[in-house]
Amino acid sequence: MTNEPIAGFQPQAYEPELARQWAARPLAASPAPGAPKYYLLEMLPYPSGALHMGHVRNYAIGDAVARFLRMRGCDVLHPMGWDAFGLPAENAAIQHRTHPRPWTLANIANMKAQMRRFGFSYDWSREVTTCLPEYYRWNQWFFLRMFERGLAYRKKGWVNWCPRCATVLANEQVAGGVCWRHEDTPVEQRELEQWYFRITRYAEELLRDLDRLSGWPERVTTMQRNWIGRSEGAALEFELEKREDRPALSLGRLRVFTTRIDTVFGVSAVLLAPQHPLLSELLNETERAQTRALIPARGETAETEKLGFDTGWRARNPFSRESVPVWVANFVLMNYGSGAVMAVPAHDQRDYEFCKKYQLPVRPVIAPGGVAPDLSRQAYTGEGELINSAAYNGLPCREAMASMIRWAEQQNAGQGTVTYRLQDWGVSRQRYWGTPIPMIYCPGCGVVPVPDKDLPVRLPEDVPVSSGGVANLAAIESFIQVACPKCGAAARRETDTMDTFVDSSWYFYRYLDPDNGEAPFAKSIAHRWMPVDQYIGGIEHAILHLIYSRFFTKVMRDLGLVENDEPIARLFTQGMITKSGAKMSKSKGNVVDPAALIERYGADATRAYVLFAAPPEKDFDWNDQGVEGLHRFLGRVYRLAMRHPPLTRLHAGAPSTAASPAEDRLLRKTHVALRRITREMESRWHFNTCLAAAMELVNVFYELEPELERGGITEAVWDDCQRLLLLMLAPFTPFLVEEIRRIWAERAPAGAVWSGEVQRQNWPEFSPEWAREEEIELVVQVNGKLRARLRASASASEEELRALALADPKIQALLAGAQPAKTVVIPGRLVNIVLRQGARA
């Protein structure tokens, strides 16, 4: 039984119905002519089955901003889509014996329904699903364009292989020697033929343009800078000495890369990576087996013992003409520089450890301050003057480097070069659920691209699913067999699919023109909307996704498809939500389920709590009771509104004077809150303080309610302030404000309530007059210590404030007749009376 005349606060009673209405009648862009465009993008989710709290946070942030900007009159583009290819669908297929496609599509339907239930205001007419041929055919199209320009190529090389994924991984997907999806699975090295994107062609530009990304968090640009890892140095050629016991070599030189050419007179050996291609020529089968054992199998680190193998070959130092041994060493990386280095034990710690172990000579060639360094314990890696370096003796390092590079170039023994840590992007995956690579192998013509007219190369649907997994494309004969597009002979299709990071590298362009059947998108539309004004997502994509997306944009620009050099103007990286201090995960059993929260507290309270708990860039720990607090707050707003539907007509602008102190207080508090929220939304997005301001205002409404009933506040002022409260809450709790408006519209007189949804109103301007305090609390300090608080007019002059402070009896007593050495007056804030310099009370 209920004794309330009006129904209590029950979000369940109205949120689902409003969500339905919004689905049918979206807040689609109907901007005023000339409205500024704003492309607001949130990272699209992988359709794993249901939203998790990380999604809710990401999308609650984005939606608050979208709603605010729309009310501000912007033409907001706010799309959503699905990153729908990838391995989990195959794993689920194994578990449930279902095909990845229905599993994925069912997940999408469920998550989309959840998003609607949360009230996220996406423009679903632009929805993109990457596993559909309408989307992935453009992946293939881009692949072909890149192939034409030499940006997609095939090579045999050492690659990262995850035994759990049963596929190859890009370098970017291997962290610390383990798979990014299977942190307990060491990655193996295998030599395979793979497709690559030549991202290194853009390394320099990708690095340089980081300086222009002023709207990105510095730590993200720093991570990318380190990832690209540009280093300047020199490539040097060491001539291999002939050996009587071995056949002559096809190429008698070894190329090394060094950033310290100044130490070249200290070389004790040349070290090759165990995978170095020349080893097949230099070594016999027994020897090669020994070097193969040196290939780092798992995540080896700087702490791993350094091991080597003396090949018996010797090479000649181009500068000193000295003959040094050629070793294979486990710590030399094949995929950096040339896979060979010169070992200078005196001036490189790794070489020092290696040479000490194998008793190779350690000879200093750099002397800091002219004094030979102490090498008894470790290498000296700093700068200094050259010694033991023939004609270069006495030169400082930097001068020596320049002069040595010049000499090497003249002698045709090397040249100055720039090397990058960044590798070409390996995009081949030996999996089913991905974009087929549109290539054909013809016995006569070789590698032949699929002609554009034959796109998309469709993923075959009727594939066997067994407990062992989804059949690899290589096992599906009907897919493989194809006529060569050039000569018509029987040929075979490429059976690798593309890395799913290809999908997410350009999806935000497809939103702009999702139904285009002729091109990935129309250039004119991209010109209008790009770059993305604001991108919001997790920090975990700081490198992979965001560097690939930048690469794609530069390629698209060079293809003439777009005019922008960079895809994203501003980036916001949200913090993580943890539970009991740990990352939420099913295996830990500490997952907070958004669906359960909706059920219990509704969408508004859940969204509002996520925004209230902490500033959005910070991590925060989930607290169940926190949601209840927000639920209570929304109930307070609701009940207040139910008790006081507006009675007076809507009108613009605030009154110029207040009829009573109570009215004065309400008007000030309202405009102070409005100012705080407006300023936050325009700057740093600390939504927690926005909601705090609204809570303070609601507390004042409650405090002044008796005053309204007593007639101490006019209805017009009360109504204005309450309507402003709804408007300022609209970005955060869209259901609540709309439900209140709906009920008001039924009960209030004509013209007292907006005829359209709250969301479609203009964002109100705060009144600077009312937002400014009139009376302040003046703090009086003596020697910097707070001694009194006084009321004072906000417009009082320095002199008036000083006099006021000195006149206070408490201050008089403290001064005891002494003459202040100095008084500091900060108008509107405080007076500090200094008795003597440096005095500490």
Q: Which one, 300 or 558, has the nearer CB to RNA?
A: 300
Amino acid identity at 355: C
Q: Provide the minimum distance between the beta carbon of 237 and RNA in the complex, in angstroms, as a whole number.
A: 15
Q: Provide the minimum distance between the beta carbon of 405 and RNA in the complex, in angstroms, as a whole number.
A: 13
Q: Which one, 19 or 778, has the nearer CB to RNA?
A: 778
How crowded is residue 167: how many other Cβ atoms within 10 Å of its Cβ? 21
Q: Provide the minimum distance between the beta carbon of 519 and RNA in the complex, in angstroms, as a whole number.
A: 35
Q: Provide the minimum distance between the beta carbon of 2 and RNA in the complex, in angstroms, as a whole number.
A: 10
Q: Provide the minimum distance between the beta carbon of 179 and RNA in the complex, in angstroms, as a whole number.
A: 12
Q: Which one, 273 or 365, has the nearer CB to RNA?
A: 273
Q: Provide the minimum distance between the beta carbon of 111 and RNA in the complex, in angstroms, as a whole number.
A: 25
Q: Provide the minimum distance between the beta carbon of 227 and RNA in the complex, in angstroms, as a whole number.
A: 7
Q: Which one, 688 or 761, has the nearer CB to RNA?
A: 688
The four Cα atoms 318, 320, 325, 326 give a dihedral, to 10 degrees, of -20
Cα separation, 686 vs 684, in Å, equals 6
Q: Provide the minimum distance between the beta carbon of 273 and RNA in the complex, in angstroms, as a whole number.
A: 6
Our measurement of the distance from residue 522's CA atom to the centroid of its chain's CA atoms, rounded to an integer in Å, reads 27
Q: Which one, 486 or 639, has the nearer CB to RNA?
A: 639
Amino acid identity at 284: N
Q: 135, 129 in Cβ contact below 8 A?
A: yes
Q: 310, 325 in Cβ contact below 8 A?
A: yes
Q: 125, 27 in Cβ contact below 8 A?
A: no
Q: Provide the minimum distance between the beta carbon of 332 and RNA in the complex, in angstroms, as a whole number.
A: 4
Q: Which one, 463 or 721, has the nearer CB to RNA?
A: 721
Q: Which one, 331 or 529, has the nearer CB to RNA?
A: 331
Q: Provide the minimum distance between the beta carbon of 270 and RNA in the complex, in angstroms, as a whole number.
A: 12
Q: Which one, 129 or 330, has the nearer CB to RNA?
A: 330
Q: Which two tokens stand for residue 401?
A: 């480097």
The residue behind tokens 């707050």 is 633
Residues 6+ apart with CB under 8 A from 283: 291, 311
Residues paired with residue 366 on neighbouring β-strands, in sequence order: 386
Q: Which one, 222 or 755, has the nearer CB to RNA?
A: 222
Q: Which two tokens stand for residue 224?
A: 């990318």
Cα separation, 408 vs 258, in Å, equals 13
Residues 6+ apart with CB under 8 A from 306: 329, 330, 331, 350, 353, 354, 357
Q: Provide the minimum distance between the beta carbon of 633 and RNA in the complex, in angstroms, as a whole number.
A: 6
What percent of the residues of the chain are helix, what percent strand, and what percent coil, each to the nearest 5? Answer: 40, 20, 40
Q: Provide the minimum distance between the beta carbon of 824 and RNA in the complex, in angstroms, as a whole number.
A: 4
Which helix (H) or strand (E) segment holds residue 788: the answer is strand 785-793
State the distance between the two ends of the chain, measured CA to CA, in whole angstroms: 64
Q: Which one, 498 or 544, has the nearer CB to RNA?
A: 544
Q: Which one, 114 or 258, has the nearer CB to RNA?
A: 258
Q: Which one, 239 or 696, has the nearer CB to RNA?
A: 696
Phi, psi of 618 (to 5 degrees): -95, 150
Q: Provide the minimum distance between the beta carbon of 408 and RNA in the complex, in angstroms, as a whole number.
A: 14
Q: Which one, 39 or 612, has the nearer CB to RNA?
A: 612
Q: 746-752 long-range contacts, Cβ below 8 Å, gap at least 24? A: 747/645, 748/645, 748/646, 748/647, 749/647, 749/649, 751/649, 751/650, 752/645, 752/646, 752/647, 752/648, 752/649, 752/650, 752/719
Q: 70, 108 in Cβ contact below 8 A?
A: no
Spatial CA neighbour of 150 closest among 447, 431, 481: 447
Which helix (H) or strand (E) segment holds residue 410: the answer is helix 397-410
How crowded is residue 717: how many other Cβ atoms within 10 Å of its Cβ? 22
Q: Provide the minimum distance between the beta carbon of 463 and RNA in the complex, in angstroms, as a whole number.
A: 34
Which helix (H) or strand (E) segment holds residue 400: the answer is helix 397-410
Q: Which one, 76 or 673, has the nearer CB to RNA?
A: 673
Cα separation, 533 vs 512, in Å, equals 14
